[in-house]
Structure 1
């Protein structure tokens, strides 16, 4: 079910890698950020939205990975936005995103994956400040709702996922350092942090998330093995090895 974490901001978590859908009340209705994952969950989200009694006016994808490009007919035929870079990239990888979604989950409306367009320069219906950076994925963006004390971080600052470098692009270590600097500035204005995957952080835990991600990236920069409790999850061993190799190449 939707859980209201701040005024006009709700979160619904999927069983699939603890993925978070975020619902934001805007001036004219609801904005859905990264809705997912299973088709049945998307349909249940439709029930939750009906209960709120407000129309969905737009969607927003924080970045162009398949699990952040989903949609359902019940949400309506409304604009679905991403940063310009993310929208352009998503348009070129729709076939791959559909194949990955079909393999990883069930009941997802494949024909609706990745139909994003560039967010207007004024933000359009998406409230707050969109913070674009180059870490993790092309055109990745967080949304800062400073008036409500919330940062929607996309696939950053998670308690379950380590930083995941984009192996297709050079020097992601530097990209993460820059992104964490920008997000660190944003967290000074918030009491609630919603990551793309994992638990919502509140209060002092918000700053802790930043410290943990910085420590991981700092270790990669030094060529050291990070001391990170998230690495106890065996399924992160492969992505971690990939991070180590990319960091060696970019810092050599």
Structure 2
């Protein structure tokens, strides 16, 4: 079920890697951020959205990994946005994303995977401020809803997953801390942090997420085994 974590921001968590589907109320209607993960869960998310009685006007994918590129016919034939870099990667690698999606969730609507386009320069229907960075995946973006004190961060700052650097790109050791710097600056205007996987952080927990990830990255930089028990450590 949807849980309202702030005014006009709801989260529904999947059983698959604790993935969070996020629903944001915008001026014109609802924007669905990273909905997932199985076809059945997407259908139940659609039930929850129907109960809100507000139309879906758009979707948004925080980055081009398959579990963040999903959709369901019941959400409607509306624009699905991403950063320009994310949209380019998602389009180029659409067949691979489709294959990974159906391997993980055979009931997911395959034909709707990775159909994203670049977000307009004016932000379109997406409320708040977009924060694009180079950590974890090409074209990764966070959304700051400063008026509601919420920061949506995609696959960053999880309490269940370690920081996962993109192994296909050079410079991630520098890009990841730089992204944390930008997100931490944005978090000064938020007391709720919504990751792509895991529990929502509130109040002092927000700062603790940054400290935990920085400690992990620093240990890796020193060539040490991080003292971190989050899932995915050996991935």
Structure 1 length as normaliser, TM-score?
A: 0.92
Find the counterpart in structure 1 of residue 157 from structure 2.
157
Q: Which residue of 1 aligns with 2:65?
A: 65
Uncovered stretches (5+) of structure 1, i.e. residues with no partner: 240-252
CA distance in 2, matches of 1:106, 1:206: 35
* Counterparts of 2:18 and 2:233, CA distance in 1: 18
Q: How does 1:86-165 map to 2 (within 5 A)?
A: 86-165=86-165
| Higher helix proportion | 1
Residues 162 and 233 in structure 2, CA contact (< 8 A), matched pair in contact too? no
User: Which residues of 2 match residues 48-87 of structure 1 at below 5 A?
Assistant: 48-87=48-87
Distance between the aligned counterparts of 1:129 and 1:173, measured in 2?
25
Q: TM-score, normalised by structure 2?
A: 0.98
1:173/1:220 contact within 8 Å kept: no
CA contact (8 A) 1:60 1:80 kept: yes
Cα shift at 1:78: 0.4
Once residues 156 and 88 of structure 2 are traced to their aligned partners in structure 1, the CA distance between those partners, rounded to angstroms, is: 21
What RMSD over aligned residues (CA atoms) do the two structures have, in Å?
0.8
**Is this contact kept in 2: 1:30–1:54, CA < 8 A?**
yes
1:187 aligns to 2:187 (yes or no): yes
Which is worse superposed, 220-229 or 127-136?
Answer: 220-229
CA contact (8 A) 2:26 2:127 kept: yes
> Residue in 2 aligned with 1:238?
234
Greater CA drift, 153-162 or 102-111 = 102-111
Q: Is the 8 A contact 1:153 1:195 kept in 2?
A: yes
**Which whole-Å CA distance do the structure 2 matches of 1:238 and 1:198 have between them?**
18
The separation in 2 between residues aligned to 1:219 and 1:133, in whole angstroms, is 22
| 1:247 equivalent in structure 2 | none
Structure 2 unaligned residues grouped into runs of 5+:
none
The runs of at least 4 consecutive aligned structure 1 residues that moved more than 6 Å come to none
Alpha-carbon offset, residue 50 of structure 1: 0.7
- Per-residue deviation, 1:106: 3.0
Structure 1, 59-68 or 215-224: larger mean CA deviation: 215-224
Question: Any idea what SS the aligned residue of 2:151 has?
Answer: strand
What's 1:167 paired with? 167
Give the superposition deviation at 1:237: 4.2
In the superposition, relative to structure 1, how do residues 2 and 55 fare at CA in structure 2: closer, same or farther (>3 Å)? Answer: same
Query: Conserved in 1, the CA contact under 8 Å of 2:161 and 2:233?
Result: no
